[in-house]
Amino acid sequence: MIGLALGLFAVISAIGAGQHLLSDAARKSPTAWAHALGGGLLLWGLIGGVAGKIGVLSPGFGGAVLGLSALGYFRPRLLIPPRLWAMALIAGLLIAVGLIDVFGPLDGADERYLHVGLPLQMLLEHGLLGGPLHPNGSRPLTLQIAYTLVLGIGEVSAAPALHWWLSLATLTLVIQLGRLHFGKLHVGLFAAVVLATSTTFLVSTGQAASDIPTAFGILLAIDAAICGRARQGAIAAALALSIKYTAAAPLFGIWLCAKGGWSTRIKVAAGTIIMVSPWWIRNLIENLHPLFPFTGWPLPQLSFEYPQKYGAGRDLIDFVWLPWRMLFEARPDTRMFLGRLHPLVLLALLPMPMVWKNQRFRPWIVASLIGLIAWSIGPQWLRYLIPSLPLLALTGAAIVVPLAHRTSLKTVLWGALLLGSLSGLQGSRRHFMNQNNAPMQSTQILVKFCHEVLPEDARIAMLFSWASADINRAQILGSLDDHTPTRHFLLRNRGRVVEALIDAGATHAVVRKVNFLRGTYPFVGIHQFRREFTEPAQQLDDALLMGADLLFQSPTHRVYRLTPRP
């Protein structure tokens, strides 16, 4: 409960800080609370980035930022629309089940190695981390700084709790935007139900993640674009982009349709770039490509990820069938789409030609479609669609809800919503029922061993492992999925792996048993597959056998002591 309370306090504090970025007029708009929240998060990211760069990112710093930000809440006061609390209550009820994840152990791989793992590492090191040894630390870290602030003064659940509150804020904003931009509360409610009954969205709410906060930024951007508020638009776009670059596609669609003409659009774009650029400049200062780790790796060249690995295929016919397959063949427990959506996310868009000429719909449709197309080109996991999902849900709801003007049609529509939710929620029950068994026993034993045996000042090389958040020791090289950071390190230091790990400051290595399957990478040539996947893993085993001391071994992990040899 402390984590949940701290997450709420962080949201209130962020609103307190962010409202000072709004003009007096903007502070009186119905969505001022949301723009203030977004602005606060962006501000924290920039302040935390500077603090991290000069090495003062600590629990004390986190407490000071949260406390001072909270003081900013009282004057001047924001307009809080009278119905907002009711909307927030509905949103909270819709995603209440996500609290099971908040109170349970960390379950998501991403939250363990990135969204919680990285902030915990930054707190241990009192500063930013980055470069090839911490590639995820070289991304823009707006959201991770917010997680760092709450983790500094609270328990681990504070990060997923903050995310749950941000999810609640997102859903509240969805309801509110339906009312504000389409004139009907039912539009927002309809969209909110579609989202909350999509397993992909619902499961994400209780995990520390980045997709829903990105969606929040995108919703703020479209609200600002339609209302012609350039400053808020730039802040919102910068927030979304500095949480996740995949926001770029829907933001581009919003930007194309933004009110105010090209001069305003150029100003907004410039403002956005200025607010995201500190993260790029930081990379340049550290001799990295501004967009590292997504590109710009030192030799040997490796693909950071393989979009072809995911989804339903890349041939033309695959794209034709993609909408059907992503709705009806996706399952949360298979790697093809790794999720499940309410069918109305796309089906409600079918009558789109009827409203295309209506200017009110134009930015929503353009942004939704560009977001959808960009998602289909990238890795086709459904959670990567979350940033555009509220746009799609609201656009669809705005199209179909007004069509149901007769009682019989209303019955059909709300019946479809209910029936579709049975499809959309597939896999949710299993996820939430299994939550308390989440961490594997062998991982728990590994964590126990590391905490009992490894010295407080140990620095662990996490090789093929994503258990970063579980182990309370300084670390390098944690990785997931394709394990690009670990494979790159091994390929770059072929023949002197143990020495290179020691040179990088590692005193110990945690090695997860890894088995790259040829069938997972059919688009990679056999020689390249051997050279870049199987051989580095084998060479690591050989190097550790010859040059390190095995301290612990479980069915899934080994722990080595790395001792410099004379």
Partner 1 sequence: MLITAFVVMGLATADPPIVLYAASSLCADPRYPALDGGLLIACDKRRLPTVRLHPETLDKSETETPHSWPSHPILLPHPRPLSPVAQLQAGVAWVANGKADDADLWWLGSDAGAPVILDGGPGDQHHPIASGDWLAWVSAGEIAIWNTATGEKRRIPTNTGFNAAPTIDGELLCWEVRTQDDIDIHCNDKFIIARPGHQTHPIRVGERLFFRENDRLMSARKKGSP
Task: Catalog residues that contact partner 1 under the rule CB under 8 A.
Answer: 445, 448-449, 452-455, 458, 508, 542, 545-546, 548-555, 558, 561
Min separation Cβ 186 and partner 1, Å: 54
Burial class (CB in 10 A: 0-12, 13-18, 19+), 404: middle
Within 13 Å, how many C-alpha atoms sit on residue 389's CB side?
Answer: 33
Between 89 and 546, whose beta carbon lies closer to partner 1? 546
Min separation Cβ 245 and partner 1, Å: 39
**Ramachandran category for residue 417: left, alpha or beta (phi over 0 → left; psi -120 to 50 → alpha):** alpha
Residue 358 CB contacts under 8 Å (≥ 6 apart), including other chains: none
- Of the candidates 63, 62, 58, the residue with the CA atom closest to the CA atom of residue 123: 58
- With H, G, I as helix, E, B as strand and everything else as coil, classify residue 248: helix
Min separation Cβ 552 and partner 1, Å: 7
**Crossing angle for the helix pair 230-243 and 211-227, to the nearest 10 degrees:** 160
Between 365 and 450, whose beta carbon lies closer to partner 1? 450
Structure tokens at 488: 């790159």
Min separation Cβ 502 and partner 1, Å: 15
Between 432 and 552, whose beta carbon lies closer to partner 1? 552
Cβ distance 194 to 345 under 8 Å? yes
Between 358 and 538, whose beta carbon lies closer to partner 1? 538
What is the distance between the alpha carbons of residues 119 and 131, in angstroms, rounded to a whole number?
16
Between 123 and 544, whose beta carbon lies closer to partner 1? 544
Q: Phi first, then psi: give them for residue 480, nearest 5 degrees.
A: -145, 155
Min separation Cβ 434 and partner 1, Å: 21
Min separation Cβ 469 and partner 1, Å: 20
Between 455 and 495, whose beta carbon lies closer to partner 1? 455
Between 305 and 499, whose beta carbon lies closer to partner 1? 499
Return the HEC string of 476-533: ECCCCCCCHHHHHHHHHCCCCHHHHHHHCCCCEEEEECCCCCHHHCCCCCHHHHHHHH
Between 191 and 511, whose beta carbon lies closer to partner 1? 511
- Of the candidates 255, 169, 245, 173, the residue with the CA atom closest to the CA atom of residue 211: 245
Min separation Cβ 542 and partner 1, Å: 7
Between 24 and 452, whose beta carbon lies closer to partner 1? 452
Min separation Cβ 182 and partner 1, Å: 56
Angle at 348 between CA 345 and CA 349, to 5 degrees: 95
What is the distance between the alpha carbons of residues 205 and 211, in angstroms, rounded to a whole number?
10
Structure tokens at 113: 């190695």
Min separation Cβ 557 and partner 1, Å: 10
Helix (H) or strand (E) run with residue 227 in it:
helix 211-227
